[in-house]
Amino acid sequence: MLTVLTSHSIKMISYLINCLFDPIILCLIIINCTFLYYYLTSTYDKWSKLNVLHVEPIPLFGNVFKMMVGLERQVQLFDRIYHRFPEAKICGFYQMRIPYLMIRDPVLINTILIKDFSHFVDHGIDIDESVNIMGRSLFLTNGQKWKIMRQKLNPGFTSVKLRGTHEQIQKCTDQLLNYINENSKQKTDGTEVNKIIKNLTIDIIGTCAFGMKLDTINSENNVNFKKYVNKLVKPNGKLIFFQYLLGTLFPKVIKLLKIQTIDVDATNFFRSVFREVIDYRTEHNVDRNDIAQTLMKARNDLVLNSESTGGENYCELDIIANAMLFFAAGTETVAATASYCLYELAINTDIQDRLRAEITSSKIKHGAQININNEFLEDLPYAEMVINETLRKYTLFATLMRKATQNYDVPGESITIEKGQKITIPLYSIHHDPKYYPNPDTFDPERFTEEEKSKRPNGTFLPFGDGPRHCIGKRLAELELKLIISKILSNFEILPCEKTEIPLTFKTERGMITSKNEGMDFLKTIMPPEATDLVDYFDTTYVHRSYKSVQHNPNNGVRLRNIAPLYPPSIWNVYQTTLDNGHN
């Protein structure tokens, strides 16, 4: 057998050598290689011709070689390009063979996103909607079709509409508090914060958007629902990479292959869920003040009544896609931001204490001790500063994409951005530029005082984008974050535990910047010792953590030591006469 294999191998090698030195075959190989090289590098002179500062490309890879071989993450790639030309308003680079423009100047960014938005209406992310249902969502649709759908969905996200969700969100957060309390009794090594808050956000979107009571916080319930939400927010990474690679090099080929990156079962699941909501509300004449009702109205206007479509074609899949978008965006991003915020509060207890004092003060001031109201939520300036600093430091997406929908003369520059040109706005790099945010790796909510904000130009803080195409769920996300943080801090102290990773390390997954080892998931929650209703009402946690001075006396009274300086005088005066005479 060995002799046969060796003989066969020799014949094969001989044949290949003959082919290689055959003049015709050799000529064809050279021609094909030359053509392929020209095709892959034919765009590499664009920025040179336009005198645009740019990073010199490597054949085939452009400027993404390190990212492609795993030597740097996507955010590091864009950050490297951003810092290459510190004085430039714009600079060029290449993703494989596709030329991109990076907009570095905040003033120009602000102009593009707002004043000259009509030149950059499209996101510039190419998705085949006939294969990938999310290509029909508000985030990925373009042109007139996007404009009409946005107009139909905007009413569901106004401040007035969202006020009706307060009670629903509170019920969900109360379930979370009960879970944390029980979990803290059973475990001493910390709570998986990101996991339970992700379950909470699924419950919130379920009830606020679709009127469904899911109780996903209890892991034994709604296993299928969580499974399909995870499939939606975590599509097949290998397929996405392959689609990106082939789509960048050979866009026509990728359209022919019709690669499905969103799980078909997840798509069918959400389609059936939304269909059940529609059928139930139609049959029982239910009209709720929620996002599902807004989607149903859009369905009536755009799918069932084609007169209001402006010539665009809509089908039920367009409505389903946006229902799926709200689930995906409303769970993953809010959960990540809330988790990062709690992480920073755990390792910066002075900030945690100050925030808890503000929450307590605002509750008492606006009568929100039992049920949180709108007046309370609008009177949390320090909470807004803490949330904004979290959004800055932990920017979830490295860049914001746009595509020129018509030629655009860059103000103050001798360059025209041609129609179809893709641009990128480096959110992470701007949010971490010492020019705008000194010591950017330090968590400092004071950056967002009115005085400090006035020192920075517009276009330096864009966690939700800006202009007509900013994130439609911005108000809902901010509302959720305020309610989650205020509820948790009113009832628990958050501390690091042995499993907490300090500092965090990161990875880029599905274009989103996340904690690499998920060490932030493990934080310790402490419930203060039992006290009278008065101390619970007055925020026992804060007193106990700071001074360890909650004491019970034989008369069932409570002694509070050194509490007055911690709270605003107005609050202390209200309660001073109700405390026993034992306080100092």
Phi-psi label, residue 579: left if phi above 0, alpha if psi -120 to 50, beta otherwise: beta
DSSP 114-162: IITGGG--B------TTT-GGGGSTTT--HHHHHHHHHHHGGGGSHHHH
Q: How many CB atoms lie within 10 A of CB 178?
A: 13
Residue 446 main-chain phi, psi, to 5 deg:
-65, -15
CA 9 – CA 480 distance, rounded (Å): 68
Residue 348 main-chain phi, psi, to 5 deg:
-125, 75
For the CA atoms of 148, 153, 155, 161, the dihedral, rounded to the nearest 10 degrees, stands at: 180
Q: Does residue 121 contact residue 405 with C-beta atoms inside 8 Å?
A: yes
Quick one: tokens of 49? 């011709």
Quick one: tokens of 517? 């080892």
Phi-psi label, residue 91: left if phi above 0, alpha if psi -120 to 50, beta otherwise: beta
Give me the sheet containing 90-95, strands edge to edge. Answer: 90-95, 98-103, 422-425, 400-403
Block residue for tokens 């509490």: 563
* Alpha helices for 348-365 (secondary structure H): 349-365
Quick one: tokens of 109? 């960014």
State the DSSP H helix or E strand holding residue 444, giving kind and residue range, or none if neither: none
Q: Does residue 522 contact residue 500 with C-beta atoms inside 8 Å?
A: yes
Check whether 19 is labelled as a binding-site residue: no
State the DSSP H helix or E strand holding residue 463, giving kind and residue range, or none if neither: none
51 burial type by CB count under 10 A (0-12 exposed, 13-18 middle, 19+ buried): exposed
CA 143 – CA 295 distance, rounded (Å): 20
Q: Does residue 513 contact residue 398 with C-beta atoms inside 8 Å?
A: yes
Task: Kindly report the three-state secondary structure assignment for every residue of 46-87.
Answer: HHHHCCCCECCCECCCECCHHHHCCCCCHHHHHHHHHHHCCC
Q: Which residues are annotated as a binding site for heme?
A: 471
Q: Which residues are annotated as a binding site?
A: 471
